[in-house]
Amino acid sequence: MAGGRWNYPGTAIVYTSATLSLAALEFLFHLGQHEIPRDMVSVPADIPDSVARTALVLEKVPERDWRRYPPLAGLCDMGRRWVESMDTAVLHVPSAIIPTERNYLLNPAHPVFREIQVGPPEPFSLRLVTPRH
């Protein structure tokens, strides 16, 4: 339904992060401080070694300002080409928030996507503001 940094609306991609802390930062980037839900959950996933992955090489990204918001169309073109190629079920991309950290894009249409082990949702909370004493 919605697009993202690496996909246009209508191109199915599951966005995940290497760590829960990065996933939280990625989520919070799109919210205002007073929009943080109190009933958040995290969903763990394990990508077996048998699932092939592609690592995006930043030097090959045609957009010099790839971290800008809103994202540039060239990044969505790259994501669309990856999905359509069906080469791998997982694409490693740098986080626009912390470029040395990695997000993992998952192609749900890829035949080996079903090998990714998705765990049950687990309650998750954040404390972002120090209480006043």
Q: How far apart are CA 2 and CA 82, in angstroms?
A: 18
Q: What is the pLDDT of residues 47-81, one digit of tens each?
A: 999 999 999 987 777 767 889 888 888 899 999 99
- Segment 76-133, tens digit of pLDDT: 999 999 999 999 999 999 999 999 999 999 999 999 999 999 999 999 988 776 666 6
Q: What does the alpha-carbon distance between residue 36 and residue 111 come to, in Å, rounded to a whole number?
A: 35
Q: Which pair of structure tokens corresponds to residue 26? A: 């990625």
